[in-house]
Structure formats: C-alpha cells, structure tokens
Amino acid sequence: MIDEHSLHFITYGLYIISAKNKEGKINAMLANTMFQVTAEPARLAVVINKKSLTHDYVKETKMFAAMPLVQDVKMPFIGIFGFRTGRNFNKFEKVKYEISENGLPAVTENTTAFYEADVELEVDIDTHTMFIGRLKTARQICEKVCLTYDYYTNVLKGKTPEGATHK
C-alpha cells in the first residue's frame, strides 16, 4: 500500500529550467525536480516531462540551465513558466533575462542563481527523462530565500500543473 499523502513530506524547490534548440530558439519551464548529483566534478540532474517543449530542446542540444525561484515571487510570474507552453506563447517577452555564452537563457528576475550544464546521461523514466549534466557555469543572482514546493502549495496556494513529477 502507498499512502500518497506521505509523498508530500519529500522536500522540493521550484526551478526554471531553460534550453535552446539547434536553431537557437529558446524555451523554459517550471520544474520541482533539480538536484546536485556529484561534487567532483559538479553534476546536476533535472527531471522533465517528455511532452514538454523544453524536454525536446534539452534532448536535441544536450544542454540545460536551471534557476531556483525566490520565495517572494508573484503567482503571475510562476504562471508564465508553469502553466503555459512555449509551443504557442513567448515566455520571455516580458521577463528579464540574458543569453549565456553557451546560448541558454538565464532568467535574472525572481531567481537566486544560474546553473548551466552539458548533458552526460539520460535516464528514461516512463513519462519523464532525467537529464544528468556536468556543470559548466554557476553564478549567484541574489541572496533571497529560495521558493520551496511546500511554500508554493501551502502558503501561496499554488496548483500543480498536469505532467508534474509531484501531485
């Protein structure tokens, strides 16, 4: 028997995951599964739904970027990356961002840091893929408290979009 409520006690952050395709088109999405895998060399893992446009871009170029959200982020900003698809909406139109030396978008508002990685390993997990990448770039954006999934759901009363790793 699995008590699904018990899964709510696993801690998560909320991250913007960005990527580009081979033509240079950029996209990003919101994810709650990003973590450091190793320290020497530094590697990160992200888990992305296979239906996501960002998934397609990471799979194609073997690169991704991740940015933790700040705790005081407003819900409309979360909605840009968490509840809209880049297939028919420009997520960067009204968002402050930079393009990194490697061509990936780094959102510079409402984020605490920027991490960029080259994918070394892909793990197929049915509906999702875990991309494990070697860290190429890492920099701090601000010193605010990071948004956790618990704060998002219990304080901000945020919803979980279809396709998320956590219900």
Give the model's pLDDT for residue 7: 74
Q: Report strand pairing: 128-140 vs 15-20.
A: unpaired
Q: The CATH number of the domain where 18 resides is what?
A: 2.30.110.10
Amino acid at 75: M
Q: What is the DSSP letter of 95?
A: S
42 within some domain: yes
Q: Are strands 113-125 and 105-107 parallel, antiparallel or unpaired?
A: unpaired
Percent of the chain whose predicted confidence (pLDDT) is above 90: 72
> Rounded distance, CA 138 to CA 114, Å?
6
Please count the structural domains in the chain: 1
Query: Would 160 be classed as within a structural domain?
Result: no
Residue 22 forms beta bridges with which residues? none
In the predicted structure, residue 2 carries a pLDDT above the cut 60: yes
Mind listing the pLDDT tens digit for each residue in 38-83? Answer: 999 999 999 999 999 999 999 999 999 999 999 999 999 999 998 7
Q: Is residue 38 part of a domain?
A: yes
165: in domain: no
Give the whole-angstrom CA distance, residue 118 versus residue 149. Answer: 26
The per-residue pLDDT of the chain, averaged, comes to 90
Q: For residue range 25-44, what is the model confidence (pLDDT) as tens digits?
A: 999 999 989 999 999 999 99
Judge whether 163 and 52 are in contact, CB under 8 Å.
yes
Q: Note whether residue 53 is domain-resident.
A: yes
Rounded to an integer, what distance in angstroms lies between the CA atom of residue 33 and that of residue 22? 25
Sheet containing 34-39: give its strands across: 26-31, 15-20, 63-68, 113-125, 128-140, 42-49, 34-39
pTM of the model: 0.90
Amino acid residing at 1: M
Per the domain annotation, does 118 fall within a domain? yes
CA distances from residue 96 to 31, 142, 164 in whole angstroms, order as listed: 19, 14, 25
AA letter at 114: F
Q: 89 is in which domain, residue-wise? A: 4-154
Amino acid, res. 92: F
Q: Does residue 164 lie within any of the structural domains?
A: no
pLDDT at 162: 53
Specify if 159 maps to a domain: no
